[in-house]
Amino acid sequence: MSDHKTMTLTLIVWRQKNASDPGKFETYTAKNITEHHSFLEMLDCVNEDLIHAGKEPIVFDHDCREGICGMCSQVINGAPHGGQDRTTVCQLHMRKFKDGDTIYIEPWRARAFPIIKDLIVDRAALDTIIQAGGYTSCHTGGVPDGNAILIPKPIAEEATDAAECIGCGACVAGCPNGAAMLFTGAKVSQLALLPQGRAEAVARVKNMTNAMIECGFGNCSNHYECMAACPKGVNVKFIARMNREFIKAQFA
Amino acid sequence: MILDGKCPTGPIEKSWDKHRFDLKLVNPANKRKYNIIMVGTGLAGGAAAASLGELGYNVKAFCYQDSPRRAHSIAAQGGINAAKNYPSDGDSILRLMYDTIKGGDFRAREADVWRLSQVSNNIIDQCVAQGVPFARDYAGYLDNRSFGGAQVSRTFYSRGLTGQQLLLGAYSALSRQIKAGSVKMYTRREMLDLVVVDGVARGITVRNLVTGEIESHAADAVCLASGGYVNVFYLSTNAKGCSVTANWSAAKKGAFFANPCYTQIHPTCIPQAGEYQSKLTLMSESLRNDGRIWVPKKKEDCGKHPGEVAEADRDYYLERKYPSFGNLAPRDISSRSAKEACDDGRGVGPGGRGVYLDFEESIKRLSEDTIRERYGNLFEMYEKITDENGYKRPMRIYPAPHYAMGGLWVDYNLMSNIPGLFVLGEANFSVHGANRLGASALMQGLSDGYFVIPYTIGGYLVTVKPGSVKNDHPEFKKSVEDVKTRTNKFLNINGKKTVTEFHRELGKVMWNNVGMARSKESLTEALKVIPQIREDFWKNVKVGGSGTDLNQQLENAGRVADFLEFGELLTRDALHREESCGGHFRTEHQLPDGEAKRNDADFSYVGAWEFKGNDKEPELHKEPLKFETIHLAVRSYK
Ligand SMILES: Cc1cc2nc3c(=O)[nH]c(=O)nc-3n(C[C@H](O)[C@H](O)[C@H](O)COP(=O)(O)OP(=O)(O)OC[C@H]3O[C@@H](n4cnc5c(N)ncnc54)[C@H](O)[C@@H]3O)c2cc1C
Ligand code: SF4
Ligand code: FES
């Protein structure tokens, strides 16, 4: 444990007052950072300094700080979530950086995610996609016993792989077209794989796809940048499954 | 005042069914005339809003995050209990009730716990129907695992992601109602005040966290499902935004706060690495199945590489003190033992605040692959944070604040002492007594949300005329003015210390004096120091920016200001409760072997506090607890 070794870093951070402000990069210095600081704790330190100096701290979304709520959302040196395998921004640690490094920090950039302030964007469009059909229409109560629906382990596991999506939107931010195919494909696939979801599969894939287009998300041209950006390792095979479901739906 | 929980009488087995039958129903055509406010859309609030919307009520739901899918329920790893008895290992509703009452050290209400156990089975069915991918076996049946405090296998799970999957299930049901127009969702809103008109809850005042606008919302009933308050300790396993603010705003309007001193400190968390640390991360308790906990016997060995400490020089203190439960001793006991070892100067890692969780022996016995299969994601998580390989070197763990058993007082209908104000999930005090067993908070949140409030709220609504108070009532105007005044006050102090500095300072006092072991001395000191910090806060805090903009400093200032008041109440409750029970351990009250010594003769009651302002003593109201089905006994895990 080398707590005595500290780093000094140069941060080049996107600052934008509100949606209509053009925004610009500002440069800050992060001092006394140890390798044990998480990336967000490093930003906390910079913010404490800014507050003491009477300046406006950098605002960014975060909540759980353990990689599960999907709130944190920053592009670091060009990579959503910083580009470390299966890691969200809040799980990133400063030991991945060196003393003297310069770090670029930007918000998610996508047509469907307007910037609210600094690094915070509006991701309500992802909720809109789920509202269009990302559910089974069961009522509270009046459902069969849990074991009345048998789901063999491999299918349950594959549905869980898709269900691991945390709704962060990194796939959209990473996609050159700003598409939400991985996010939507994951939900469509989870429910299409499970018997409980089959009854509404046709309407679901149509409605969610339409919502995706209406919200201003782009098209998929098979770059697979989404999968590279995804902190939960959601697989592009779920996009293929959604496409199959979509084609099937045209004939249903 | 003696409080009445309004529990049904008669045989416990029939209590909930009978109560449901006795409740008056709201005519289906009238339901849409009623407006209901839901503050919080985690498991409890999300499930409730979706179910109430589906029944036909008009629901307005609020959360502080940008989407209801991000509530901190998402972070639960382990699982959810139910009395399905699928493995046929002797489980039943009564056994789940028994385990919960005993686990809570006999400080919960029997009727509520019976109901929870009864509806636990419906929850699993509901979640399956929503498409929650629970773990299954190869034949397709639901799989179970075992959890602490139970001798049966009744925990349903989805990898280490149970909370996420359950919340996404509730979120999907909620999304369906939002689409249908029965629920209107207000995200990035923070409730800052409860509006009470002529003694009845009629609405809330919220701040729009994007624009800074202060908004009023009126309704025929207000439900709080705003989660727990252990961020009063600053560092905890909760999310950064978790606060007591919604609950505290209600307490300031007269809602009683029950058992605030019942807080759970979880034994297996990753230790703090430095002063700058912003939160603590839980490592699932399941690791204790195969990991052995130890510290060096000699202080001199604490700085050494663990591999260099000879076997004979290691103190496997849980195995030594609790030979029959060993490393699987309950949460409160394991946490206290770790603290004792570190207080004795034998802790490891930075600051000497850590103990080893060692897998060497199980790796030898079972192979590294087996351990990886069982806990791989936890080892990965540990390595991400600490940069240490848990297979090669024992993990370091330390206890951390995790869960609030206390909360606003509610009766059997989940209604607080303020008519029209209901409280759900972790925010209320109801079923866990003085200690919560693993996998039972998720169960409670969903029970309250899907299966209790949809019935009990109707019994209240039939007694009120819909829409009788609107948000142009003077009380709403006053509430908006109060919130604005407080906002301006924060912005105008312009002192020298940041909000976080104050929060850390409070957290240190709470942790050191009101944490795992409490004494009259430590509590009395805290009662002296907390008001001093509060006073300093109101003179010396520095909150920049403006009130009419997205301003995270301002949001945090409000939360910390509330913790600075609430922390004092929590401490006072701990001081008044002259006994040890569950998570509340008073060093003066222990058995000769160091175990918690309950005092049933004097303290077998719910302590519900009425806040009367910072300059006055709060008033204690008691609800006596009766044990008719499960008999009072000493809790032993030796
Ligand atoms: C790391 C971790 C692991 C856990 N693991 C388990 C487990 O394995 N099994 C188990 O049973 N339990 C577990 N628990 C406990 C369990 O997860 C929680 O007790 C439960 O999920 C709480 O649900 P809730 O709906 O009451 O609150 P939350 O999910 O916390 O939701 C609170 C809601 O209130 C909103 N809110 C709060 N304040 C305001 C305000 N002022 N204005 C507007 N909105 C507000 C939030 O936005 C959110 O929507 C765990 C807890 C933690 C922290
Ligand atoms: S698919 Fe991955 S990147 Fe996209 S929202 Fe889900 S978790 Fe985030
Ligand atoms: S803050 Fe929750 S995932 Fe990063």
* A43 ligand 3 Cβ < 6 A: no
Q: Any CB–CB contact under 8 A between B136 and chain A? A: yes
A236 three-class SS: coil
Q: What is the mean pLDDT of residues A50-58?
A: 97
- Report yes or no: B107 and B259 within 8 Å, Cβ to Cβ: yes
* Percent of all residues in chain A with a pLDDT value above 90, rounded to a whole number: 97
Mean pLDDT of all residues in B332-357:
92
DSSP state of B452: I
pLDDT tens per residue, range A128-169: 999 999 999 999 999 999 999 999 999 999 999 999 999 999
What Cα–Cα distance (Å) separates residue B142 from each residue in A164, B74, B355?
19, 21, 36
Contacts (Cβ under 8 Å, ≥6 apart) of B76: B162, B163, B164, B166, B441, B442
Can you list the domains of chain B with their CATH numbers? Answer: 266-401 (3.90.700.10), 474-613 (1.20.58.100)
Closest CA to B116 of B52, B224, B44: B44
- Starting from the CA of residue B75, give the closest ligand: 1
Task: Say whether A45 and B276 touch across the interface (CB within 8 A).
Answer: yes
User: Which pLDDT belongs to residue A1?
Assistant: 42
Note the pLDDT of residue A252: 78
List the structure tokens of A38.
């998480």
Q: How far is CA A179 from CA A219, A221, A222, B363, in A?
A: 5, 9, 10, 45
Residue A229 distance to chain B (closest CA, Å): 18
pLDDT at position B287 is 85
Ligand 3 pocket, mutate which of A63, A73, A108, A232 (most atoms under 8 A from CB) = A63
Domain residue ranges of chain A, discontinuous segments joined by +: 7-106, 123-137+146-250
Strand partners, B36: B59, B221
Q: Tell me how far apart the alpha carbons of residues A37 and A91 are, in angstroms, rounded to a whole number.
A: 10
Q: How many CB atoms lie within 10 A of CB B517?
A: 19
As a whole number, the mean pLDDT across chain B is 95
The candidate with the shortest Cα–Cα distance to B124, out of B95, B147, B156, is B156
Residue of A nearest to B450 (CA): A140
Q: Which two tokens stand for residue B292?
A: 């052995």
- Verify whether the Cβ–Cβ distance B240 to A69 is below 8 Å: no
Cα(B108)–Cα(A218) distance, integer angstroms: 54
Q: Rounded CA gap, A252 and B92, in Å?
A: 45
What average pLDDT does the segment B41-70 reach?
98
Name the maximum alpha-carbon separation found in chain A: 66
Instruction: Report d(CA B162, CA A196) in Å as an integer.
Output: 19
* Encoded amino acid at A86, one letter: R
pLDDT tens digits, residue range B362-371? 999 999 998 8
Question: For B34-61, what is the mean pLDDT?
Answer: 98
Residue B625 is encoded by which pair of tokens? 């607890």
The number of the ligand 1 atom at minimal distance from the alpha carbon of B441 is 11
Residues pairing with A117 in the sheet: A120
Tens digits of residue pLDDT in A165-184:
999 999 999 999 999 999 99
Which positions ≥6 away from A234 have C-beta within 8 Å? A161, A162, A164, A165, A171, A182, A186, A227
- Among chain B residues, CA nearest to A125: B67
- Judged against a pLDDT cut of 50, whether residue B636 lies above it is answered with yes
Compute the radius of gyration of chain B from its Cα atoms: 24
In this structure, of B217-231, B328-342, B488-502, B509-523, the range with the lowest mean pLDDT score is B328-342
- b (16+ CB within 10 A) / e for B188-202: bbbbbbbbbbeebbb
Any atom of ligand 1 within 6 Å of the Cβ of B41: yes
Q: Is B128 on the interface with A (CB under 8 A)?
A: yes
- Residues A167, A70: Cα–Cα separation, whole Å: 6
Q: Reduced to 3 states, what is the DSSP secondary structure of residue B583? A: coil
Q: Residue A167's closest chain B neighbor by CA?
A: B69
Nearest to B622 by CA among B635, B636, B603: B603
Residues 27-86 of A with CB under 8 A from B: 34-38, 40-41, 44-45, 48, 51-52, 54-57, 59, 61-71
Length of chain A measured in residues: 252
| Residue B588 CB partners (closer than 8 Å, separation 6+) | B519, B520, B578
What is d(CA A132, CA B375) in angstroms, rounded to the nearest whole number? 37
Q: With an 8 Å Cβ cutoff, are B137 and A93 in contact?
A: no
DSSP 3-state of B459: helix
The predicted structure's pLDDT at residue B146:
78
Tokens of B78: 């382990």
Closest to B342 measured CA to CA, from B515, B219, B198, B105: B515
Question: What tokens does B20 get?
Answer: 């449901």
As its CATH architecture, domain A123-137+146-250 has Orthogonal Bundle (1.10)
User: Given this model, what pLDDT does residue B168 score?
Assistant: 98
* pLDDT score for A200: 98
Q: Which two tokens stand for residue B147?
A: 């959890």
The reported pLDDT for the residue numbered B149 is 67
- Is B331 in the active site? yes
- Ligand 3 atom closest to the Cα of residue A61 is 1
Give the H or E element holding residue A225: helix A225-229
* Whole-angstrom distance, CA of residue B150 vs CA of residue B330: 11
C-alpha to C-alpha distance for B405 and A120, rounded to whole angstroms: 34
Separation in Å, CA B544 to CA A50, B397, B486, B488, B547: 10, 37, 14, 11, 9
Contact B133 A63 (CB under 8 A): no
Ligand closest to A175 (CA) is 2
Q: How confident is the model at residue B333 (pLDDT cuts 50, 70, 90)?
A: confident
Report chain A residues whose CB lies below 8 A from the CB of B384: 87, 91, 93
pLDDT given at position B290: 85
pLDDT digits (tens, 9 = 90+) for B272-303: 988 999 999 999 887 887 899 999 999 999 99
Mean per-residue pLDDT of chain A? 96
Which of A205, A135, A149 is closest to B170 using CA atoms?
A: A135
| Lookup: tokens for B319 | 């195995």
Tens of pLDDT, residue by residue over B296-324, are 999 999 999 999 999 999 999 999 988 87
Nearest to B317 by CA among B349, B286, B293, B346: B293
| CATH 3.10.20.30 for domain A7-106 | yes
Are the C-beta atoms of residues B276 and B295 closer than 8 Å to each other?
A: no
d(CA A248, CA A129): 20
Q: DSSP letters of B402-440?
A: EEE--EE---TTSB-SSTTEEE-GGGB--S-TTSPPTT-
In this prediction, residues A99-122 reach a mean pLDDT of: 98
CA distance B45 to B171: 10
Question: What three-state secondary structure class fits B606?
Answer: strand
- Residue A64, ligand 3, Cβ within 6 A: yes
Look at residues B305, B300, B330 and name the one whose alpha carbon lies nearest to residue B318.
Answer: B330
Q: What is the pLDDT of residue A2?
A: 44
- Nearest-CA residue for atom 20 of ligand 1: B73
Could you please report the per-residue DSSP string of A170-213?
HHHHHSTT---HHHHHHHHHHHHHSHHHHTTHHHHHHHHHHHHH
Chain A contact for B51, CB < 8 A? yes
Map tokens 């019942």 to a residue: B262
Could you tell me which chain A residue has the CA closest to the CA of B178?
A: A131
Candidates A145, A166, A197; nearest CB to B125: A145
Q: Are B404 and B569 in contact (CB under 8 A)?
A: no
Please give, one letter per residue, the 3-state secondary structure of B305-360.
CHHHCCHHHEECHHHHHCCCCHHHCCHHHHHHHHHHHHHCCCCCCHHHCCEEEECH
How does strand B314-315 pair with strand B292-296? antiparallel
Nearest residue to B178 (alpha-carbon basis) of A112, A138, A132: A132
- Considering just the CA atoms, what is the radius of gyration of chain A in Å? 21
Distance from CA of A115 to the nearest CA of B (A): 11
Q: How far is B67 from A127, CA to CA, in rounded Å?
A: 7
A120 sits in which H/E element: strand A120-121
Q: From A54, which residue of chain B is nearest by alpha-carbon distance? A: B544
Indicate the top mutation candidate among A183, A220, A242 to test ligand 2's pocket, ranked by most ligand atoms within 8 A of CB. A183
Contact across the interface for A71 and B542, Cβ inside 8 Å: no
For residue A231, CA distances in Å to A84, A158, B137, B389, B428 come to: 8, 17, 28, 21, 34
Task: Scan residues 307-336 of B and list those with Cβ closer than 8 Å to A.
Answer: none
What pLDDT is recorded for position B330? 76
Catalytic entry in B331, B518, B586, B635: B331
DSSP B501-523: HHHHHHHHHHHHHHSSSB-HHHH
Q: How far apart are CA B228 and CA A90, in angstroms?
A: 22
A220 touches A239 (CB < 8 A): yes
Q: Which of A97, A232, A43, A141 is nearest to B276 (CA)?
A: A43
CA of B240 to the centre of ligand 3 (A): 10
Residues with CB under 6 A from ligand 2: A 165-171, 182-183, 186, 229-232, 234
d(CA A218, CA A177): 5
